């Protein structure tokens, strides 16, 4: 334990510690299954999640390096729209600026399809720009399975040695009249993401039963992703830095 603590302290004292604690890319599904009302719930829900006190505290934790944040929308193979380029989150005002952007964004003309594999590739390409960060995470939200473009299973294989983590946030049907079918649908989608999408040690899938529950699900997800620098993260950063 003492040796592990010494490793962490060594990293915190190194030049890399002044650069980036975590790169977090957030991908939002805007395919045809997401209507205008759901689009607003997703964008505004993310904005509110980023203002939750527990998330703000974790984002601004002073351990010697900031979090870097990027946000994009995705649907078909060649449709990915960057809402926020890589931005360092150092102050509460930085987070406030991000939430203002999310609250004011309007929906673009996105194609109808759902290219989960392409969204994974795009997010991985974004994270490849942040190789000085100790941890690099793609946070992919979606309410449906892949229906065109490269299959997520193949993309996952290609990214096995990339050093990134991919987590999923799956969103179920909003209509309560679907009854038990809602739970079957979200169970199937969760299993799909667990099998074909998530990647890396500790990767996980968070669940929102509908877009009305998106804010709470995103809050849980961000807290889990931002819990802090673990000994394993520190050891990996040291290995890469050498």
Divide the 242 residues of the chain into consecutive groups of 10 and give the mean pLDDT of each group.
38 52 97 94 98 96 86 97 97 97 94 96 98 96 96 98 98 70 89 98 96 97 82 47 46
Residue 228 pLDDT? 57
Quick check: 191 and 230 in contact, CB under 8 A?
A: no
| Predicted pLDDT at 220 | 98
How far is the CA of 129 from the CAs of 34, 70, 133, 179, in angstroms?
29, 11, 10, 44
Give me 194's structure tokens: 């667990």
Is domain 32-224 annotated with CATH 3.90.320.10? no
* Confidence (pTM): 0.87
Please compute, for residue 184, the number of CA atoms within 13 A of its CA located in the half-sphere on the CB side.
4
Give pLDDT, residue 173. Answer: 74
The pLDDT value recorded for residue 181 is 78
């Amino acid at each position: 334990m003492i040796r592990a603590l010494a490793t962490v302290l060594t990293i915190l004292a190194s030049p890399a510690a002044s650069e980036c604690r975590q790169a977090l890319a957030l991908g939002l599904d805007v395919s045809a299954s997401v209507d205008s009302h759901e689009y607003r719930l997703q964008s505004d829900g993310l904005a509110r999640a980023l203002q939750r006190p527990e998330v703000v505290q974790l984002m601004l934790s002073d351990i010697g390096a900031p979090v870097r944040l990027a946000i994009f929308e995705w649907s078909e193979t060649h449709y990915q729209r960057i809402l926020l380029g890589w931005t360092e989150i150092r102050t509460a005002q930085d987070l406030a600026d991000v939430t203002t952007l999310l609250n004011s964004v309007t929906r673009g003309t996105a194609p109808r399809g759902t290219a989960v594999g392409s969204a994974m590739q795009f997010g991985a390409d974004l994270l490849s720009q942040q190789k000085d960060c100790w941890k690099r995470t793609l946070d992919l939200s979606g309410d449906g399975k892949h229906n065109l473009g490269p299959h997520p299973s193949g993309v996952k294989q290609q990214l096995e040695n990339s050093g990134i983590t991919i987590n999923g946030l799956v969103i179920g049907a909003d209509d309560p009249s679907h009854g038990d079918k809602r739970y079957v649908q979200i169970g199937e989608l969760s299993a799909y993401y667990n099998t074909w999408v998530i990647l890396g040690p500790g990767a996980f899938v968070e669940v929102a039963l509908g877009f009305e529950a998106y804010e709470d699900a995103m809050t849980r997800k961000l807290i889990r992703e931002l819990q802090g620098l673990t000994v394993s993260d520190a050891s990996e950063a040291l290995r890469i830095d050498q």
